[in-house]
Amino acid sequence: MKKHLLIVTLTLLAIPVLTACSTASEPPVLTLATTTSTENSGLLAYILPDFEKRYNAQLHVVAIGTGQALEIASRGDADLVLVHARSKEDAFMEAGHGLLRKDVMYNDFVIIGRDDDPAAISGLTDAALAFAKIAETESTFISRGDESGTHAKELQIWEKAGLEPKGSWYVSAGAGMGAVLTMAQEKGAYTLTDRGTYLVRTLEGLDLPLLVEADPILFNPYGVIVVSPERHPGVNSALAQKFVEWLTSVETQEMIGQFGVVEFGQPLFTPDSEEWRASQGE
């Protein structure tokens, strides 16, 4: 009788141990390919922990230029992208790599340069005219030169100015925004930058003044795209769609709209999802 009781007791003790082992699992990993500005500005570090906690997921962020981010996603090596070059995004969708695209937010580009402003562009609201004056005076200009959204915008402005920049004064860095801002500081050069990354870097010692802003061509919208599971069967489309729902929700959009206000007196990004606009009666 004692032997039977002992067997039953051991069996009961083993049950919770087996159950605990069988339910343990690693959180799913979602790979987000994104532009450097969302990372360098600190926005992702500010908002992503909320998603990871809500969905018990881990975000693997690959922060590179928009062109490179879309290239990675076109190979199926990312589950979704968050970028800022609408023509490239549309081409990605038309090629069948994307399942869906949503507006997320926007900010703007600005032209910065050294204090003495040799091209005399300070206060202009015409970016193409500013570029023309920089070229005319052959003042040093640092270009991203990396197929990024910022680089695409720069080329659009040069095209509007009717110029093809070339010469020793025009430096193609082939680097991200942070590295380009450092180069511009060291060389006392002009460059085009998104406002968010620029403001964050001013807290780290960047002292190149903002010279040109408020031209409509400098508008900088961001979109999020879920990679197509039909085209790329290995992607985690279900979790990626949940991410998009979370990112475009009114609650997360409010977080985006508050980011940077305390430090700079203005948000670094303006919410612009369909859900946000509807909540604002737009």
| Domains of the chain in sequence order | 29-106+222-279 (3.40.190.10), 108-218 (3.40.190.10)
Q: Can you tell me the mean pLDDT for 126-145?
A: 98
pTM of the predicted model, to two decimals?
0.88
Whether 10 has a pLDDT exceeding 50, the answer reads no
pLDDT tier for residue 8 given thresholds of 50, 70 and 90: very low
Least Cα distance to 141 among 189, 90, 107 occurs for 189
Six-digit token string for 57: 């997921």
Alpha helix segments (H runs only) across 24-114: 36-40, 43-55, 66-74, 86-94
Integer Cα distance of 65 and 15 in angstroms: 52
Whether 24 has a pLDDT exceeding 70, the answer reads no
pLDDT for the residue 13: 35
Rg (CA), the chain: 24
Look at the block and give the residue holding tokens 């790979």: 31
pLDDT for the residue 11: 35
pLDDT tier for residue 130 given thresholds of 50, 70 and 90: very high
Name the helix (H) or strand (E) containing 59.
Answer: strand 58-63
Q: Can you tell me the mean pLDDT for 147-170?
A: 97
* Distance set, CA 226 to CA 76, 78, 82, 137, 232 (Å): 11, 9, 9, 45, 11
Measured from the Cβ of residue 107, the count of other Cβ atoms closer than 10 Å reads 25
